[in-house]
């Protein structure tokens, strides 16, 4: 997993957009982004993922594959939707099994985009209330395990004044202010 500041240049969202400025892991810690590198299992057993799930009270999981072939005519609209800046009222936790992509998160208080490149074996947890977006990279494929506390529920709240006032967003800002 590699993190760097997004270059903010126009162009394909799936391009690296690498500014050449790496992000210190302490910055990710400060904004509450957790991450691990856990080798992908060859036998379908994931004791390290199971331990994280127990620790964070995640009871369910599923696997999602995002490809042009799999989504067909919906592919471009889904990719655009994932890339809208938003937050969730729950953590977003993803373990990459195959392929690769990018999670972009907003650094606070600078509001700069930090791009986090994920590939097989990367586990990332985005805290509730953090503004973020997701896109595939130019390989156009990712297979990821999603973990959730109960039933899948990741309602996206696109960034606006109302979302800025959302109690989960406000709690997130209080939490990172302490760090």
What are the DSSP calls for the chain, one per residue? Answer: -EEEEE---SS-TTS--EEEEEPPHHHHHHTT-EEEE-PPPSSS--HHHHHHHHHTT--EEEEEEEEHHHHGGGHHHHHHHHTS-EE-SS-EEEEEEEEEEEEEEE-TTT--EEEEEEETTEEEEEPTT--EEEEE-TT-EEEEEEEESSS-----EESSHHHHT-HHHHHHHHHHHH-
pTM of the model: 0.95
Annotated binding site: 86, 88, 92, 132
Query: Does residue 60 belong to any structural domain of this protein?
Result: yes
* Residues annotated in a binding site for Fe(2+): 86, 88, 92, 132
Q: Residue 145: its pLDDT value, please?
A: 96
Instruction: Return binding residues for Ni(2+).
Output: 86, 88, 92, 132
Q: Whole domain around residue 96: which residue ranges?
A: 2-174
Identify whether 179 is part of a domain.
Answer: no
Q: Is the pLDDT of residue 152 over 80?
A: no
Q: Tell me: pLDDT of 55 over 70.
A: yes
Per-residue pLDDT tens over the stretch 14-31:
999 999 999 999 999 999
Number of domains within the chain: 1
The answer to the question of residue 166 being in a domain is: yes
Tell me if 119 is assigned to some domain.
yes
- CATH code, 17: 2.60.120.10
């Amino acid at each position: 997993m590699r993190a760097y500041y997004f270059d903010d240049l126009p162009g394909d969202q799936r391009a690296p957009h690498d500014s050449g400025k790496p992000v210190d892991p302490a910055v990710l810690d400060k904004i509450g982004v957790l991450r691990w590198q856990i080798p992908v299992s060859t036998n379908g057993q994931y004791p390290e993922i199971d331990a994280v799930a127990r620790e964070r009270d995640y009871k369910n999981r599923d696997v999602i594959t995002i490809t042009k072939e799999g989504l067909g005519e919906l592919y471009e609209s889904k990719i655009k939707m994932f890339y809208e800046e938003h937050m969730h009222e729950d953590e977003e936790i993803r373990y990459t099994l195959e392929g690769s992509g990018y999670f972009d998160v907003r650094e606070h208080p600078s509001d700069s985009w930090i791009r986090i490149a994920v590939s097989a074996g990367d586990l990332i947890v985005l805290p509730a209330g953090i503004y973020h977006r997701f896109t595939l990279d130019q390989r156009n494929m990712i297979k990821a395990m999603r973990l959730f506390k109960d039933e899948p529920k990741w309602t996206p709240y696109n960034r606006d004044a109302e979302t800025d006032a959302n109690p989960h967003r406000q709690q997130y800002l209080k939490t990172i202010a302490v760090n």
